[in-house]
């Protein structure tokens, strides 16, 4: 992304706060391996803290100067958030993310942009620093909040800057891949808010209103428009391999938000079964991304602490959708394909760790497949609504996950339960679900006739 290779480097030349924060991140990158399993025992060097404190002091001094510009504070906030996500210091990571969004809110208010952001012409006509902030920095902060969802972040307040309805998806063509990316981020944000609002009503046993259903239809219609525009863009362009991978990353996200939005008001989890072809298409594109990384599958006893640099990225575009597929797709073959992808040594995405996700997804499958129908799919009464993970492993590399059956959603006395697991594969001696499935290739399937799906690859 141009932000990391362009904006940060350019700003580091003239801004001590950005420069020292970047050096801090570089030191941490050398000392960390990226996995949650090793993070709990990692210690930062004296050089790390020296540059960390220099960055803090430089930012404080810079903010007191009359020539201070908000972009400096925002970029430094992003670098600090990235440092804390890599260290798995979740509270400080969320704090830096919230501070950055607070600056954005003040900028919008000062520029009169808060209301204007609702108009397409105002968004498209923005230029200069505000355009860079809205189109580049705000999406990066949103990625941080997506990681923070694992920590139970207060979505009512922290996601308040996002619009409940997509603002950037219209029946128009994409001139550049960046246009498709910005439109999808807008669509993803609206889908997150829709899922949150509907989940709250389900837990309170409140039926969705006509306004809720209309909002769902609008979000789905925007998904259709985005998809058609994406197909027109692909047909009109000669894309490089890197650009095709960028398209695959967008489609992985698209299939996850589309299926989630389509099934968002189904507490019993049965409607997901109609979207098997979409889940398969998601995994096809996810496999293309994994293959491009040229990774080995992880051993349950791998020594990740010996890595020379952190296996980490701030972007949350692969692990969450694949984990979501393992949980929401009940086809026994397809969800195991998802778990097989999670068994690769994937870069940790913010707080999303592939090993942790794989362990929980395998447990979900074990629970749900205690009772299956004639096709091998879990019956309704054993389907789970959630498998929520706590991020921070303890000193023994253990982490906690909470579970709730779908049939218990909305009941006064919830029947949720939790369990503890240990990272690095010390939970059981028998082969894992992923190990049993290793070597089975993903199959590309045609769109299933008669299903409620718009699956295309």
Mean pLDDT (the chain, rounded): 82
Q: What is the pLDDT of residues 387-416, one digit of tens each?
A: 877 766 776 778 888 899 999 998 866 578
Predicted confidence band of residue 158 (pLDDT cuts 50, 70, 90): low
- pLDDT confidence band for 304 (50 / 70 / 90): very low
Question: What is the rounded distance in angstroms from the CA atom of residue 364 to the CA atom of residue 408?
Answer: 16
Which strands form 417-422's sheet, in the order they lie side by side? 384-389, 398-405, 417-422
- CB 258, CB 274: distance < 8 Å: no
> How high is the pLDDT of residue 88?
84
Residue 162 scores a pLDDT above 80: no
Q: What is the pLDDT of residues 169-219, one digit of tens each?
A: 666 789 999 999 989 988 998 898 899 889 989 988 999 999 999 999 999
| C-alpha of 407 from chain center | 27
Average pLDDT over residues 253-258: 97
**Pair 147, 192: CB distance under 8 Å:** no
Lowest-pLDDT range, 253-257, 283-287, 308-312, 345-349? Answer: 308-312
Tokens 């837990």: give the residue: 203
What is residue 354's predicted lDDT score, i.e. its pLDDT? 92
How is the chain split into domains, by residue range? Answer: 1-151
- Is pLDDT above 60 for 248? yes
Q: How would you classify the pairing of strands 348-349 and 312-313?
A: parallel
What is the gyration radius of the CA atoms in the chain, in angstroms? 22
Query: In this structure, what token pair is assigned to residue 15?
Result: 């801004």
Two structure tokens written together for 8: 């940060």
What are the respective helix, strand and coil percentages of the chain, to the nearest 5? 60, 5, 35
- In 3D, which of 100, 62, 68, 63 has the Cα closest to residue 81? 100
Whole-structure pTM value? 0.83
Mean pLDDT of 283-299: 84
Residues 288 and 441: beta-carbon distance below 8 Å: no
Q: What is the pLDDT of residue 401?
A: 86
- Per-residue DSSP letter, 406: G
CB 79 within 8 A of CB 20: no
What's the pLDDT score for residue 357?
Answer: 92
Q: What is the rounded average pLDDT of the residues 417-432? A: 61
């Amino acid at each position: 992304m141009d932000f990391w290779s362009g904006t940060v480097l350019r700003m580091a030349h003239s801004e001590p706060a950005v420069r020292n924060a970047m050096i801090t991140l570089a030191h941490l990158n050398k000392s960390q391996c990226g996995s949650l399993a090793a993070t709990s025992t990692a210690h930062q060097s004296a050089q790390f803290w020296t540059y960390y404190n220099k960055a803090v002091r430089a930012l404080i001094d810079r903010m007191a100067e009359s020539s201070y510009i908000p972009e400096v504070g925002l970029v430094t906030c992003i670098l600090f958030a990235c440092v804390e996500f890599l260290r798995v210091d979740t509270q400080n990571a969320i704090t830096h993310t919230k501070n950055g969004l607070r600056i954005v809110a003040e900028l919008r208010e000062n520029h009169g942009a808060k209301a204007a952001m609702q108009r397409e012409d105002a968004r498209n006509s923005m230029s200069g620093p505000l355009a860079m902030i809205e189109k580049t920095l705000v999406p990066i902060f949103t990625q941080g909040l997506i990681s923070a969802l694992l920590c139970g972040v207060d979505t009512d307040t922290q996601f308040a800057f996002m619009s409940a309805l997509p603002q950037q998806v219209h029946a128009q063509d994409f001139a550049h891949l960046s246009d498709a990316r910005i439109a999808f981020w807008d669509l993803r944000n609206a889908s997150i808010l829709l899922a949150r609002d509907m989940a709250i009503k389900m837990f309170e046993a409140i039926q969705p209103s006509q306004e809720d259903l209309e909002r769902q239809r609008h979000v789905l219609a925007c998904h259709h428009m985005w998809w058609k525009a994406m197909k027109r863009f692909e047909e009109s362009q000669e894309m490089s391999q890197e650009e095709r991978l960028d398209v695959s990353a967008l489609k992985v996200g698209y299939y996850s938000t589309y299926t989630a939005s389509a099934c968002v008001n189904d507490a019993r989890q049965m409607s997901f079964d109609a979207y098997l072809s979409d889940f398969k298409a998601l995994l096809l594109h996810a496999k293309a991304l994994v293959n491009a990384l040229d990774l080995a599958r992880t051993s349950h006893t791998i020594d990740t602490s010996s890595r020379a640099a952190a296996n980490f990225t701030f972007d949350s575009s692969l692990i969450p959708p694949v984990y979501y597929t393992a949980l929401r797709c009940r086809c026994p073959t397809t969800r195991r394909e998802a778990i097989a992808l999670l068994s690769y040594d994937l870069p940790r995405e913010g707080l999303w760790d592939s090993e942790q996700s794989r362990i929980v997804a395998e447990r979900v499958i074990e629970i749900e497949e205690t009772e299956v129908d004639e096709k091998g799919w879990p019956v309704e009464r054993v389907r789970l609504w959630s498998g929520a993970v706590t991020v921070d492993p303890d000193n023994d590399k253990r982490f906690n996950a909470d579970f709730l059956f779908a049939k218990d959603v909305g009941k006064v006395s919830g029947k949720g339960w939790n369990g503890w697991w240990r990272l690095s594969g010390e939970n059981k001696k028998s082969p894992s679900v992923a190990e049993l499935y290793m070597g089975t290739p993903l199959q590309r399937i045609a769109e299933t006739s008669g299903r409620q799906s718009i699956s295309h690859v």
